[in-house]
Amino acid sequence: MQEFRLPDPGEGLTEAEIVSWRVQPGDAVHVNDVLLEVETAKSLVELPSPFDGTVEALLVEPGQTVEVGTPIIRVSGGDAETVETTRATEQTIERDEDGGAVLVGYGVRGGAETRRRKPHTVREVPERDRPAPPASVPAAAAAPVIAKPPIRKLAKDLGVDLASLEGTGLAGEVTRDDVVRAAEQAKVFRNLDAPAWSGGREERVPVKGVRKVIAQAMVDSAQSAPHVSVFTDVDASRTMEFVKRLKASPDFADVKVSPLLIMAKAILWAIRRNPLVNSTFKGDEIVVHHYVNLGIAAATPRGLLVPNIKDAQDLSLLELAKALQQLTTTAREGRTQPAELANGTFTITNIGVFGMDTGTPILNPGETGIVALGTIRQKPWVVDGEVRPRWVTTVGGSFDHRAIDGDVISRFVADVASILEEPALLLD
């Protein structure tokens, strides 16, 4: 009879919450079969079995938070030598060939199958529940919408009213980007029905897991680092044109391309020109990082996560696009691992996807800068003395005033803005 104790899931964490069991008493288990899923302060982690045997008892209930080293499951018929070897091995997270979490010391058994959570899917809102398009303009007076059949089908599938869009195509036609952008900005407001209050006058939500870590980190950051924030409006019309050209390029055919990619590349360029923004204030010294682990703030079902792209400064534009796509997909599916959240040096928060123009973000602890990209929308803009419709966004950011002064902060944000105004400078 062997007891499996909760191992350290990595990054020196001391406790974890039992989310769900994948086995029940009486089940036969083999090496590397997933026993349970736990939630640490940083991520969801699947814990594999270190031995073969039969489950005798589950020693903790889902929802319980237990410390590392606590017995959590009892298995009969296990290989005692394997268990002792496992306990003696430092437990850290690695990846198997399928991208799953594997604890070092367990090994990957050839042909072993693991039970994985299915990716979260978004339920399509039925046509009858979608808000009706504005009726302020009579149908007879409305200009005809120019859009190809595939674009019309996409708009229908996403619940976007084509008549409400202003086409950005060469002939004024509605493009795929127009439809996708409208869908992304409208999805926050897609369901207009306000649900009824749940039972009782109050609801108490436990502060634990990711929410507990976020709360403490934000308090620590706000209280320890004197934040200074700056903003500038930017004509991002050429960025929108550049993104369109990249989407038409065969090299980017299978990669998601958005203005966030250009923003990320602009920040990497601006950091090289203003290296102090990519630093950590240590009290008696400032550690300037000559590499960029670029964090991307991601809203996920588990809360706000900031995974980062390691050594982003070494990536080409195509490699950066692939890394951004992998990072966001992994975060939304709840598969971000602790190592992917650690050691960030600079962060981007893309509040534009929620239709926001700008904000004053709080620094990720240990970092000196965070930049917010606002929504990109058409606005009147003066060009060569004439007012013209242009794609305009607001770039804002917060910085640790202990490490850098206003002149460096202003130059950095101005450099980012200059690339959004003329992204062709970044062609590689």
Interatomic CA distance for residues 102 and 47, integer angstroms: 7
From the candidates 120, 227, 289, 401, give the one annotated as an active-site residue: 401
Closest CA relative to residue 114, chosen from 50, 48, 53, 28: 48
Interatomic CA distance for residues 185 and 379, integer angstroms: 16
Helices (H), 127-273: 149-158, 176-186, 209-224, 237-248, 259-273
Q: Are the C-beta atoms of residues 226 and 400 closer than 8 Å to each other?
A: yes
Interatomic CA distance for residues 200 and 178, integer angstroms: 44
Interatomic CA distance for residues 428 and 120, integer angstroms: 35
Interatomic CA distance for residues 267 and 294, integer angstroms: 9
Interatomic CA distance for residues 217 and 122, integer angstroms: 30
Q: Are the C-beta atoms of residues 36 and 21 closer than 8 Å to each other?
A: yes
Whether the CA torsion 328, 332, 334, 338 is positive or negative: it is: positive
Residue with tokens 């870590």: 213
The number of angstroms, rounded, from the C-alpha of 255 to the middle of its chain's C-alpha atoms is 16
Q: Which two tokens stand for residue 390?
A: 């242009």
Q: Are the C-beta atoms of residues 26 and 74 closer than 8 Å to each other?
A: no
- 401 tagged catalytic: yes
Q: List strand residue ranges (DSSP E) for 221-343, in order.
A: 227-235, 279-281, 286-288, 294-300, 303-305, 308-309
Closest CA relative to residue 59, chosen from 3, 136, 20, 13: 3
3-state helix, strand, coil in the chain (%, to 5): 30, 25, 45
Residue with tokens 């298995």: 75
Interatomic CA distance for residues 67 and 331, integer angstroms: 25
Tell me the sheet residues that pair with 2.
75
Catalytic positions = 401
